[in-house]
Structures are given as structure tokens and as C-alpha cells.
Chains A and B, each alone.
Chain A
Amino acid sequence: MLDFYGVPWDYEPTTFVLDRDEQGRVTSAFTPDFYLPDQDLYVEVTVMRQALVTRKNRKLRELCRLYPDVRVKLFYRRDIERLAQRYRLRLAS
């Protein structure tokens, strides 16, 4: 869809460190799926089961706390399905 509308995007260009151990080794990190450079916006898409979504939500909150200047949006399965419905059913036409 981004390609269709000519919106530039990168796939997983950045990994954000969320936690390190005492030796400085990374113990937790988060890599959003997409980066939209023109919007300076990261987009994470999750279509996985709820338990994993909860874990991802936690990481996302941590990312927002540690990197308050980073703009990131999380798209759930329901969001993707809604968009698919709207575009497939040509609501925008």
C-alpha cells in the first residue's frame, strides 16, 4: 500500500536498545518493522497472537519512555483487516 501511493519506506532500519546488563551487553531491544523517512515515523505491524502482542506492547511503551522523540505507531491485526476491508471494498473510490 505504501508502494502504491509512492510513500518511501525502509524495512527494519533501526534497532532501539531498551536494556543492557552490567557488562553493557544488550538484553532487550526493539526493531520496528518500517520507517517512513518523509514522516519520520516508525510503524510496527503485529498480526500475532495476544500473548505476544502484550509483550510487544510492553516493549513499545519502554521505547517511548526511553526515546521520547521517536514517533512510532503500532498496527494490530484488526487495523490491517480494517484497512484491507476499506481498500478492497473501494470505500475510498
Chain B
Amino acid sequence: MADGPSAALLARLRAAGQPIGEVYLARDEIARRVAELGGELAEAHAGREPLLVAPLKSSAVFLADLSRALPLPHELDFVELAAYRGDAGAVRVLKDLDRAIEGRDVVLVEDVVDTGLTLNFLVRTLSLRGARSLAAVTLLDRPYRRLVDVPLAHVGFTVPDELFAGYGLGLDERWRALPDLHVVEAQELPAALTGDLYRPERPDAAAA
């Protein structure tokens, strides 16, 4: 499937021993589904001028394609959230929307929805700003560890419990430029520690 610059990039990554795996979704398949999503969104927002909002950075490629597949007047905007670091604190908005959304029809454009925590935070935050409607579309849905209910109106693909890269999705900032979506061979990734995510801190937790 890979050709031209993407084939060269893939070859260089593999030669460097990067754990980039096989293609899971080819660019043609993604393009077809994104076109369908554009049609779904147009139908759901007929007669309106929605604002498409994407969190940086992984959703940028999907947003660009979805925008061109949406046969409605619409606007684009971005937000950026501080990534989870495991050292407590709270999520912070690093880049807020450029304009007010009061009375607007807002569509959040996500690359992957997993636990739903990020999307839930965005929905809670933006719903306080008086949008007329708030919906969400995701390219990939990985529902196996969903912790919070989120208003996912449109889903591109429900994917297995794997790591993916390419089509804008990165892994430590690598591989975003690959045009197809690849499986990442997770066994070759650095071992993850679990303590940061599972850390009951109530005083009675140790005795429980």
C-alpha cells in the first residue's frame, strides 16, 4: 500500500528498528469512511454552520480530511490540553478556543476515544460556555475501558485493543506522517509502570 515518500519513511523507520507494525487501516479505507462521516455530520447539522473543534495534536489529520468531506459551511478551531504526567495536579488547557461558542453547534473531533476521560473533560468544559449543541465524532473508538459516558454521535471505526500510529497518531512524536494507520508492536515498547495510574490515596487505603 505504501508508495512514494511514505514508503521511504516506512522503510527508514523499520530499518531503524522502530516497532511499527502492519497496516490496520489503509488510507483508502480511511478516506471512504471519513467521507461517510462527513455526510453523517452534514445530515445531523443541516441548515447550520457547525464549529469543528479538535484537540491537538493527533486529531489534526483527521480534522483536515473531515473538514474537506463536510459539505456544509463550517469553522475549525483547536484546543490543546496538558498531557497526563502521573504527578498529580489537574488537566490544564494549554491552548483555548479562539472564539466564543455561545449559541454555536460544536462538534468535537477526536482521533481515539478510550476511557473517555479527555472527551468528557472537553464536553464538561465547553458545555459551560453556552453552545447550542455539543456532539462528538471520533475516528477510532476503543470502548473496552470506557469509564465515563460521552456523547459519541459518530464513530469511524471500532478498533481492537491495540496501539496504533500513523494518520496523525503519534507515539512519542514519531510516525504521525504515515498515511495509513499501523498497529504498533507493543511488546517492543518500554515497560510501563502502573503506579501512576492506580494509586488510591485515601488515608484508610493502606489498611483496606
* A residues in contact (CB < 8 Å) with B: 1-7, 11-12, 33-34, 36, 38-39, 41, 43, 45, 47, 73, 75, 77, 79-93
CB proximity of A63 to chain B, nearest CB, Å: 18
Contact (Cβ within 8 A) B83 A90 = yes
Please name 12 pairs of A and B residues whose Cβ atoms are closer than 8 Å in the assembled complex, sorted by A. A4-B84, A4-B91, A4-B117, A5-B91, A7-B120, A7-B147, A41-B147, A75-B145, A80-B197, A83-B197, A85-B163, A87-B86
CB proximity of A90 to chain B, nearest CB, Å: 5
Contact (Cβ within 8 A) A93 B117 = no
CB proximity of B85 to chain A, nearest CB, Å: 8
Interface size range on B against A: 35 or more
Given pairs A82-B161, A91-B171, A93-B83, 18 additional interface contacts (CB within 8 A): A1-B115, A4-B90, A5-B90, A11-B208, A33-B200, A34-B200, A39-B148, A43-B147, A45-B198, A47-B198, A79-B145, A80-B198, A85-B186, A87-B83, A87-B197, A92-B84, A92-B112, A92-B118
Chain B interface, >50% SS class:
loop
CB proximity of A75 to chain B, nearest CB, Å: 7
Contacts of A4 in B (CB 8 A): 84, 88-91, 117
State the CA gap A39–B114 with chains docked (Å).
16
Contact (Cβ within 8 A) A5 B197 = no
State the CA gap A7–B112 with chains docked (Å).
19
CB proximity to A under 8 Å, residues B152-172: 161, 163, 169-172
Contact (Cβ within 8 A) B148 A7 = yes
Residue of A nearest to B113 (CB): A92
B189 in contact (CB, < 8 A)? yes
Contact status of A91 and B112, CB under 8 A, knowing A4-B89, A6-B90: yes
CB proximity of B175 to chain A, nearest CB, Å: 11
Residue of B nearest to A87 (CB): B84
Contact (Cβ within 8 A) B193 A84 = yes
Contact status of A11 and B170, CB under 8 A, knowing A4-B89, A87-B84, A90-B83: no
Residue of B nearest to A41 (CB): B147
Contacts of B161 in A (CB 8 A): 82
Contact (Cβ within 8 A) B194 A77 = yes
